[in-house]
């Protein structure tokens, strides 16, 4: 590996305005952000400041009003909806505050789903799903359904699901928001390990100071701008 790691995600001048009727709400004014391959980045901000909005834009789930977004060398804002959906499935993993697992499927089936949707061969996906669930400590919960698992276990299944396609970027929106302190500590430790092992970048929106400080870099979203604590990777121009 070289001295400087490759940039895997680069956002420039991201602006987002929501229009409802005659009202305009400028949630993001100008967000600049660079994330290196394998980097762990936390973004903190009070409720309502725009963390989820930014995460959805970085994840190509929503389009910015203005600005550029380059992920794994692709200018994603230019892609049409179908190409974008394929790109997202291939390169980006998501973990949300609520696990959003499908209740009628097992842990293993839930973890396998994004890869099956992408048309990967079921046997290989199954082996990968088992390995991932083992690596998040759920080797004995493969056939449990979400209703038969704890909140922390469900969230770990959600992490396995986010990783099944081996995405280069994983975006997490308050992943431990619903977990007790010990469980969330465990989840964060696991995220650090997985990121190191697979050289995957994680961008984690959180208001958990302890989690945020255990990441490689920490930024604050305020007034529609992102300010990094070490002054790097964007913030106020
Ligand atoms: N689709 C939308 N339409 C209009 N306003 C929205 C929409 N999504 C979010 N907002 C507003 O944008 C602001 C930021 O929301 P959000 O990104 O969810 O904040 P956070 O995740 O930091 O709590 C809030 O004031 C919210 O009401
Ligand atoms: Mg939010």
12 CA to centre of ligand 1 in angstroms: 20
User: What pLDDT digit, counting tens, does each position of 82-140 carry?
Assistant: 999 999 999 999 999 888 999 999 999 999 999 999 999 999 999 999 999 998 889 99
Q: Which helix (H) or strand (E) holds 211?
A: helix 209-213
More confident residue, 211 or 122: 122
CATH number among 3.40.1670.10, 3.90.190.20, 3.40.50.150, 3.40.50.300, domain 39-63+80-228? 3.40.50.300
Find out whether 200 and 212 touch, Cβ atoms under 8 Å.
Answer: no
More confident residue, 177 or 151: 151
> Does the predicted TM-score (pTM) go above 0.85?
yes
* Separation between Cα atoms, residue 235 and residue 237, nearest integer Å: 6
User: What pLDDT digit, counting tens, does each position of 28-78 carry?
Assistant: 999 999 999 999 999 999 999 999 999 999 999 999 999 999 999 999 999
Atom of ligand 1 nearest to the CA of 53: 17
21 CA to centre of ligand 2 in angstroms: 23
Beta strands in 21-128 (DSSP E): 23-36, 40-44, 66-71, 74-75, 92-95
Whose CA is closest to 233, among 42, 15, 26, 17? 42
Instruction: Identify which ligand lies nearest to the alpha carbon of 221.
Output: 1
Residue 2 reports pLDDT greater than 80: no
Cβ of 224 closer than 6 Å to ligand 1, yes or no, is no
Cβ of 50 closer than 6 Å to ligand 1, yes or no, is yes
């Amino acid at each position: 590996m070289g001295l400087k790691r490759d940039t895997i995600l680069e956002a420039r001048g991201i602006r987002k305005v929501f229009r409802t009727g005659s009202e305009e709400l400028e949630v993001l004014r100008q967000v600049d952000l660079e994330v290196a391959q394998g980097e762990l980045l936390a973004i903190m901000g009070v409720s309502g400041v725009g963390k989820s909005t930014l995460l959805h834009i970085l994840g190509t789930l929503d389009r910015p009003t203005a600005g550029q977004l380059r992920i794994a060398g692709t200018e994603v804002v230019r892609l049409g909806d179908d190409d974008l959906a394929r790109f997202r499935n291939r390169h980006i993993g998501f973990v949300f505050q609520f696990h959003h697992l499908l209740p009628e499927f097992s842990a293993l089936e839930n973890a396998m789903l994004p890869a099956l949707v992408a048309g990967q061969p079921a046997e290989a996906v199954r082996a990968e799903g088992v390995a991932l669930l083992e690596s998040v400590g759920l080797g004995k919960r493969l056939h449990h359904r979400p209703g038969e698992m704890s909140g922390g276990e469900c969230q770990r299944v959600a992490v396995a699901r986010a990783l099944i396609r081996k995405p280069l970027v994983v975006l997490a929106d308050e992943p431990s928001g619903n977990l007790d302190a010990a469980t969330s500590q465990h989840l964060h430790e696991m995220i650090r390990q997985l990121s190191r092992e697979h050289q995957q970048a994680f961008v984690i929106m959180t208001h958990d100071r302890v989690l945020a400080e255990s990441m490689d870099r920490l930024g604050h979203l305020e007034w529609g701008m992102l300010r990094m604590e070490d002054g790097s990777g964007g913030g106020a121009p």
